[in-house]
Amino acid sequence: MHVVVCGALVENGAVLLVHRSPTRRAYPDLWDLPGGHVEAGESELQALAREMHEELGVHIVAESSSRLGDLHAGSGEDAVHVGVWQIRDWVGSPTNRAPEEHDDIAWVGIGELGGLPLVFGALPALLRSLPEPDRLPRRDEARTTASPSGP
């Protein structure tokens, strides 16, 4: 079984998604949360911090991260267990630092997720379960924020 983590950077009622390149072997040409495989010796939170930095160039504030839930796909040797985390605070402005993996990134309104081709169909319901205060703008004035936009 493959263990994967992904992170929901939520701001102004929107979540940052990555569009998986059409050339990817697994789940090509679909929208997903950024993340990746947990490596040997890593905790999920350590892997999440590493992946967010590698893929988006941001440093997550570990204390601001909380587990939203788990998603599962595939079976047998191809089975994937995905730990989904909400990240309330991070340092840096997200940019696509993994263009070989993702051909686009976008802030998408949580209410607009159902209309996108997503890796996991359960993702919109999971993100809609966030408490309302977590959908408010972040108070970190040291960063500039991107406005929500569709893909």
pLDDT at 5 over 50: yes
**pLDDT digit string (tens) for 91-104?**
999 999 999 999 99
Q: What percent of the chain shows pLDDT beyond 70?
A: 86
Contact 145, 12 (CB under 8 A): yes
User: What is the structure's pLDDT at 49?
Assistant: 97
CA gap 137, 26 in Å, rounded: 33
**pLDDT digit string (tens) for 44-63?**
999 999 999 999 999 999 99
Averaged pLDDT for residues 107-126: 93
Averaged pLDDT for residues 108-127: 93
Contact 122, 114 (CB under 8 A): no
Neighbouring residues of 3: CB distance < 8 A, sequence distance ≥ 6: 37, 38, 44, 80, 81, 83
User: What is the structure's pLDDT at 82?
Assistant: 96
